[in-house]
Structure 1
Amino acid sequence: MTVTGNIILNHQQIQHKTRRIAYQILESNVNEEEIIVAGIATNGFVFAKKIKAELEKITSATITLCEVMINKQEPLQAVTTSLTKEQYINKPLVLIDDVLNSGTTLIYGVKHFLDVPLKNFKTAVLVNRNHKKYPIKADFKGISLSTSIQEHIDVVFEDEQSKAFLI
Structure 2
Amino acid sequence: MTQKAKILVLNHHQIQQKITRIAFEIYERNAGEKQLTIVGLTGMGYVFAELMVTKLKEIASFDVQLIKVELDKSNPKIEEIILSEHEPLEGKSIILVDDVLNTGRTLAFAMVPFLELKVKKMEVLVFVNRSHKLFPVAADYTGYELATTLSEHITVNLDPNASTVHLH
TM-score tier, shorter chain, comes to over 0.9
Who is 1:38 aligned against? 39
CA distance in structure 2 between the aligned counterparts of 1:144 and 1:114, rounded to whole angstroms: 28
TM-score, length of structure 2 as denominator length: 0.92
Q: Is the 8 A contact 1:155 1:163 kept in 2?
A: yes
Query: Using the alignment, how far apart are the partners of 1:38 and 1:149 within structure 2?
Result: 27
Q: Report what 2:90 is aligned to.
A: 89
Which residue pairs with 2:101 in the alignment?
A: 100
Which residues of structure 1 form unaligned runs of 5+? none
SS at match of 2:78: coil
Q: Is the 8 A contact 1:68 1:81 kept in 2?
A: yes
Give 1:1-80 correspondences, 5 Å limit: 5-78=6-79, 79-80=81-82
Question: Conserved in 2, the CA contact under 8 Å of 1:44 and 1:98?
Answer: yes
Determine the C-alpha separation between the residues in 2 that align with 1:129 and 1:122.
18
* Number of aligned residue pairs: 163
Cα displacement (A) at 1:76: 2.0
Q: Deviations over 1:57-111 (max 9, x none)?
A: 1113111000111112331232111115x52111100000000011111111123
Query: Contact (CA 8 Å) 2:83, 2:113: kept in 1 or not?
Result: no
Query: Which residue number corresponds to residue 112 of structure 1?
Result: 113
Q: Is the 8 A contact 1:93 1:118 kept in 2?
A: yes
Per-residue displacement from partner, 1:12-56 (whole Å, max 9, x unpaired)? 111111111111111221111110000001100000000001100
Residue 133 (structure 1) aligns with: 134
AA partner of residue 19 (structure 1): T
SS at match of 1:88: coil
What is the Cα deviation at residue 135 of structure 1?
A: 1.1
Amino acid at match of 1:13: Q
Q: CA deviation at 1:127?
A: 0.2
Question: What are structure 2's unaligned runs of at least 5 residues?
Answer: none
User: Which residue of 1 is the match for residue 160 of structure 2?
Assistant: 159
**Amino acid in structure 2 at the alignment position of 1:70:** L
Quick one: percent identity of the two aligned structures? 36
The ranges of structure 1 where at least 4 consecutive aligned residues each deviate by more than 3 angstroms after the TM superposition are none
